[in-house]
Copies of this chain bind each other. A is one copy, B any other.
């Protein structure tokens, strides 16, 4: 059986060296090259395609997420294993969406890398343990965000813009008392008791 060929894309020289050192003792895996940016990666792939690609999601100014999409479009048979320091939902989600077969954190143990490579080559999906936990936490966390109605969002925005209830009423062509109602509902939904905490919480939850 031939060794699995692996190509590494990372803008951190240290990491490329590290992965190579870690995979050296693995006879079933062979690192056939590496790149530190989009251009040199695509240029390499024109001549030779690995079985698995270890791809850092953060390539300095460039985006590993975009590169993932590009590679998958042209070479769908290459299995991509995302590599990242960030255990953040937005990244994980995007990479999986864009065709990655796994998400490996850089603090992975030595054996995890080869385990992940063997998993994805068989068509499986490999996620670091912490990553799985993050995905779960996000699912649960979604419940923490209050579900706002269209109008409530609108009013919230205007409050954050610094308008008073009267000004909001004028802008939306509704009565002062209506704005007051929406505002009360906002305070209730966010479970806060005044504007200051409302705005901070809304900001943290990315409503504004």
Residues of A within 8 A of B (CB): 11-22, 58, 60, 85, 106-110, 113, 159-162, 164, 192-200, 203-204, 208
A-B pairs with beta carbons under 8 Å apart, 6 shown: A12-B106, A13-B107, A17-B19, A17-B22, A60-B107, A199-B199
Within 8 Å by CB of A18, from B11, B13, B159, B200, lies B13
Do B13 and A15 touch across chains, with their CB atoms under 8 A apart?
no
A109 and B203 contacting across the interface, CB-CB below 8 Å: no
Beyond the given A12-B107, A162-B193, please list 4 additional residue pairs across the A-B interface where CB-CB is below 8 A: A17-B21, A194-B195, A195-B196, A200-B208
CB distance from A118 to the nearest CB of B (A): 18
Q: Are B160 and A197 in contact (CB under 8 A)?
A: yes
Q: How many copies does the complex hold?
A: 2
Question: Bound state CA distance, A197 and B16, in angstroms?
Answer: 43
Specify which of B11, B110, B200 is in contact with A199 (CB 8 Å cutoff): B200
| Nearest-Cβ distance from residue A56 to partner chain B, whole angstroms | 10
Cα A19 to Cα B85 with chains together (Å): 17
Smallest CB gap from A158: residue in B? B196
Q: A195 contacts B199, CB within 8 Å? A: yes
- Give the distance in Å from the alpha carbon of A158 to the alpha carbon of B204 in the complex: 16
> Can you name the residue of chain B whose Cβ is closest to the Cβ of A201?
B162
Complex CA–CA separation, A17 to B24 (angstroms): 11
How many angstroms from the CA of A192 to the CA of B161 in the assembled complex? 10
Set B14, B195, B203: member contacting A15, Cβ < 8 A = B14
Among all A-B residue pairs, the 6 with the closest Cβ atoms: A18-B18, A162-B197, A14-B18, A17-B18, A17-B21, A199-B199
A20→B19 CA distance, assembly (Å): 12
Q: Across the two chains, which residue of chain B brings its CB closest to A85?
A: B85
Given A15-B14, A18-B15, are A200 and B160 also a contact pair (CB < 8 Å)? Answer: yes
CA distance A162 to B29 in the complex (A): 57
Measured between alpha carbons, how far is A204 from B109 in the docked complex, in Å?
37
What CA separation (Å) do A158 and B176 show in the bound complex? Answer: 29
Whether A196 pairs with B159 at a CB distance below 8 angstroms is yes
